Structure 1
Amino acid sequence: MTPEELLPDELLERIRGRAAAYDRDNAFFHEDLQELAAAGYLKLFVPTSDGGGGLGLEAAAQCQRRLATAAPATALAVNMHLVWTGVAHVLAARGDHSLAFVLEEAAQGEVFAFGNSEAGNDSVLFDSRTAAMPEQDGGYSFTGTKIFTSLSPAWTRLGIFGKDPDARNGAGELVHGFISRETPGYRILDDWDTLGMRASQSATTVLDGVTVPANRIFRKLPVGPNADPLIFAIFACFESLLAAVYTGLGERALAVGVETVKRRTSFKNGGRSYAQDPDIRRKVADAAMAMDNLYPQLRSVTADVDALADHGAQWFPKLVGLKVNATETARRVVDLAIRVSGGSSYFRGSELERLYRDVLAGMFHPSDDESAHNTVANAWLGPLED
């Protein structure tokens, strides 16, 4: 199915029509989620044999790009569900079926969320500040704090990870598992009041000895970088789908800017349209050319994931490079759109004002600018010498 079939114009306009109110009220996108679920959107990666869309990462990213043109915060939160289902799909395509249950449960309507981010943990997936203590039955008890837990009001399955500090002869071991909404031992804080991406309701989740049974523990990895397929799958889906959301945000900002320029007229020039102003035209052209550079990069990287391309050590530079390019390009395009749209875009409630606040969130998602540049430099020049 195409993005237009999965997200027909009528559905997209209803979602766009609710975005401003969600942002104003700092409210979760319950109606959007209900409609998207009813349309089968949460099953993009689920095989067609199980009632899903059977899509790969390239097609799913284009769907997210389209959704983000209507409501970036909705798309960003839905990303977290799609990351886990995408990871299960990417692993299965490589012969690893350890997360087959994720796709099976998504087919049944479960909503997955990503509970890995931690304040002050710049090691991201390679270490954890959350304690994962083994229990006698093979399960683990997790204690720690997870931030930016999107879909907080709605998830039914939350992926978490933590560190067993005594495993592997004291070197530590990273333990990954899933809890359900009904699992005791966690608290969701009412602390999401942010500058932008407000409808995502990515609240803090406190794990107070929450137990993950043995049958929901799906990976145990050494601390530090490693070549486990799970790490690649998470990075591939997380970075690509993030890039898709910010690509869609930039695309919408450009479209709104163009519409506004065509409507604006110059009193000084006798009511002539600002679309005839050379400086305005140059800014619009700069924004359009920036977006034109981004579209093929998103398609190329995601298509290569689907095709099982072997980029070796260049895979992670490609993924983080895509994410940074998408978030920074979108930021530049929103800025240009505001510049050509005039003072009306500065007022609370205008779409460009909301997009301006939403796009700023891009700098905080992993991999951040510093980490991404370090990854790319190491791939091309080798690590820094001691």
Structure 2
Amino acid sequence: MSTQLHELLPDDLLERFRDRAKGYDERNEFFHEDLVELKAQGYLRMFAAESDGGLGFGLEAAAAAQRRLATAAPATALAINMHLVWTGVAHLLHERGDNSLRYVLEEAVAGEVFAFGNSEAGNDSVLFDSNTVAAPLSDGSYSFTGTKIFTSLSPAWTRLGIFGKDETGEAPVLVHAFITRETPGYSIKDDWNTLGMRASQSCTTVLEGATAPADRVFRKLPVGPNADPLIFSIFACFETLLAAVYTGLGERALAIGVQTVHKRRSKKTGKSYAQDPDIRWRIADAALAMDGLYPQLESVARDVDQLVNHGSQWFPKMVGLKIRATETARTVVDLMIRVSGGNSYFAGNELGRLYRDVLAGMFHPSDDESAHSTIANAWLGPVED
């Protein structure tokens, strides 16, 4: 896998991404050049089978690629995640005998860019309820009205996955569908001016009667938790690939810290800061934390690929991985800031940018509270009424 990853993301390509990341961040600009190069490498079709024009990756290989990409450009990797979530979901469903989203892989191979338009302000039920209204039409299509936040890839997507709630029947159902860039009835706000992950351009999308045709309405599910393979696949791809991005971010921060302390010299001793016992402790602390994260990421992704049955422990494993990755990366970046000196506080410093980027990890689902609730329920059962 290592050789394949270095062919897909060679060192010179990563250096170009790293050089551009600074400018994208300063200008609050989308990563257009990065996207062109990733497309040329076949990166956006990694989940499609080689016989279909893809790279034949499973989730473990995709996570390894995202980890490597994030060492150069975390915001680029984070946004690309949203495309990979949908193509990954299509792949996981196919591996489990469900070809309902085969067209997602076919269209990804053809060059289409998928984005994830599910997040809603104030919706802490995430995939188990929606504030968006899904209105059924006579031909089987659905009209969607609502507001989606954190829509990464806003300047570039050509296919947007959305969902909303249809309350016209005996029981409400959650309707999942895709619209295209050409679909009328939506608008994208120019409102992405954030502390970090700026190049992702995850703008707000307002649906104002955007209609998904019947052949792109791919699931109708009951409100609330359910065992549909779609839900498992979305969680598996979303949480694992998020963890991969923040693992790569932490990996890069540690590398910068090591380089920096070798360069800095003490006025008192004349030695490099790499010889200072307190700094050595902090570097070791960060390395210990990262060393525990790599195998967890690989293990969870591999188990998904191999269809391992963890039963009721699957969701705790996935949300636990996401929380550990984002929190570990945040701790590691903080430690590296402490050992690197005041230069990291200046605008344009890579470590300072990583410090801002890593904070986004706490806002992605599942958040800390939700993850702890999921894990507690798995081990202790639900809270009694």
Whether TM-score is above 0.5 comes out as yes
- Residue in structure 2 matched with residue 312 of structure 1 by the alignment: 311
**1:133-182 alpha-carbon deviations (Å, 9 max, x no partner):** 00000001000000000000000000000000122x1x310000000000
- Residue in structure 2 matched with residue 18 of structure 1 by the alignment: 20
- Residue in structure 2 matched with residue 354 of structure 1 by the alignment: 353
Using the TM superposition, name which of 57-66 and 341-350 deviates more: 341-350
Q: CA deviation at 1:10?
A: 1.0
Pairwise CA RMSD of aligned residues?
0.6
- Residue in structure 1 matched with residue 226 of structure 2 by the alignment: 226
Q: 1:1-386, aligned counterparts within 5 Å?
A: 2-167=4-169, 169=170, 171-269=171-269, 271-386=270-385
Distance 2:17 2:43 in 1: 13
Q: Which amino acid aligns with 2:298?
A: R
Distance 2:377 2:179 in 1: 36
Distance 1:284 1:258 in 2: 7
**1:59-101 alpha-carbon deviations (Å, 9 max, x no partner):** 0000000000000000000000000000000000000000000
Displaced runs of 4 or more, over 2 A = none
Q: Which amino acid aligns with 2:103?
A: F
Q: Which amino acid aligns with 2:205?
A: T
Q: Which amino acid aligns with 2:74?
A: P
Residue segments in structure 1 that go unaligned for 5+ positions in a row:
none
Distance 1:325 1:5 in 2: 29
Distance 2:199 2:31 in 1: 6
Distance 2:43 2:282 in 1: 36
Distance 1:44 1:261 in 2: 38
Secondary structure, aligned partner of 2:219: strand
**1:264-300 alpha-carbon deviations (Å, 9 max, x no partner):** 000122x210000000000000000000000000000
Distance 1:208 1:110 in 2: 23
Distance 2:343 2:60 in 1: 37
Q: CA deviation at 1:257?
A: 0.4
Distance 1:351 1:10 in 2: 18
Distance 1:342 1:13 in 2: 24
Distance 2:228 2:168 in 1: 21
Report sequence identity in percent: 77
Q: Which amino acid aligns with 1:258?
A: V
Residue segments in structure 2 that go unaligned for 5+ positions in a row:
none
Secondary structure, aligned partner of 2:140: coil
Q: CA deviation at 1:5?
A: 1.4
TM norm structure 2: 0.99
Distance 1:135 1:117 in 2: 24
**1:329-351 alpha-carbon deviations (Å, 9 max, x no partner):** 00000000000001111111100
Q: CA deviation at 1:129?
A: 0.1
Secondary structure, aligned partner of 1:330: helix
Q: Which amino acid aligns with 1:275?
A: A
Distance 1:159 1:73 in 2: 20
TM norm structure 1: 0.99
Q: CA deviation at 1:15?
A: 0.6
Secondary structure, aligned partner of 2:78: helix
Distance 1:272 1:107 in 2: 54
Q: Which amino acid aligns with 2:282?
A: K
Q: CA deviation at 1:188?
A: 0.3
Distance 1:366 1:4 in 2: 30
Q: Which amino acid aligns with 1:103?
A: L
Secondary structure, aligned partner of 2:71: helix
